[in-house]
Amino acid sequence: MGDVKANHFSVCFFLSVTTFRLLGRGMEICRRAFSSLSTKYKYLSVLKSADFVYNVEFARPQKSNALKLDMFSELRRIFQELTYTADCRCVILSGAGNNMTAGIDINDFSTLLQGSSDGARRSREIRKTLIQLQEDISAIEECPKPVIAAVHGACIGAGVDIITACCIRHATKDALFSVKEVDLGLAPDVGTLQRLPKVISNESLIRELVYTGRNFSGEEAAKYGLVSALYDDRESLIDGAVTLAKTIAAKSPVAVQTSKHSLNYSRDHTVTEGLKDIAIRNQLMLQSEDVVTAVTSQFSKEPAEFENY
């Protein structure tokens, strides 16, 4: 009987070790596949702005970066890639040309109402597309790397959906924001109604902005708490965002990414649930070499150098 148990244990141990090794190899393959980030996208560009800092840019300036359906799917693919890009510790999201984004491309999205003449079947297709778009934008929030939205010019409609999925928002003083969907005869459906109340605590103001679709400036956005820093022009905005990103990237990536997870988790759960979650995570993360490296740096007054994560 003892031999049977011993053999059973040996088999289970072998299977466990083999599974662990296969999973490790799988993760290594994923990391290698994503290690050289592709910049060949049709509507967005990805550039490395500084060590450990990447800039994702809407690259349709001739159309004010109006958002086509394919731009949303590209956005998701990029942030999924950045998740596994080892030397990426912070991301800046910006727009080329004169605007962040003019919102959805009306011509492109008109196809949503086409298709089957049957209401039930057409409704299913519309729902499928909406869920896809929601997941595309949520990829920004789900990426463990901090994301800084650098907003200049117009940031309309779906642009607000996108920037509220970012960790930090900076803007130029003359930036123009609008929760525009009501003027198109529809309710925002890809994030603004869910995330904006988590960003701005004034419910009366949120309802005013959503119900009227009115424009508001960068200075107003700062007053409302939507953005945390203002700049005179796009150049100084990007410079400021890069400086902030470099500061974040110089910190322990384990600490920063765990903090992002905990902030997002705690936002959507009770205080007790948030405390339990961070206790579970930090029982692992406190064993990281980053803790020793950071503490040593504090005493030596020398910059810390952390391994990629």
CA distance 245 to 224: 23
Model-level pTM?
0.86
| Cα–Cα nearest to 147, from 78, 215, 231 | 78
CA distance 9 to 305: 42
Tens digit of pLDDT at every position of the chain (309 positions)? 444 444 443 434 334 434 434 444 444 434 444 444 555 799 999 999 999 999 999 999 999 999 999 999 999 999 999 999 999 999 999 999 999 999 999 888 777 777 778 888 888 988 999 999 999 999 999 999 999 999 999 999 999 999 999 999 999 999 999 999 999 999 999 999 999 999 999 999 999 999 999 999 999 999 999 999 999 999 999 999 999 999 999 999 999 999 999 999 999 999 999 999 999 999 989 999 999 999 999 999 989 899 999
Residue 37 has what pLDDT? 56
Residue 24 has what pLDDT? 46
Strand blocks (E) in the chain: 44-50, 53-58, 90-95, 147-151, 154-156, 168-172, 176-178, 216-217, 229-231
CA distance 295 to 298: 5
CA distance 67 to 24: 38
Q: Give yes or no for a contact between 94 and 55, defined as CB atoms under 8 angstroms apart.
A: yes
Q: Give yes or no for a contact between 147 and 169, defined as CB atoms under 8 angstroms apart.
A: no
Residue 22 has what pLDDT? 42
Task: Read off φ and ψ for residue 179, nearest 5 degrees.
Answer: -85, 85
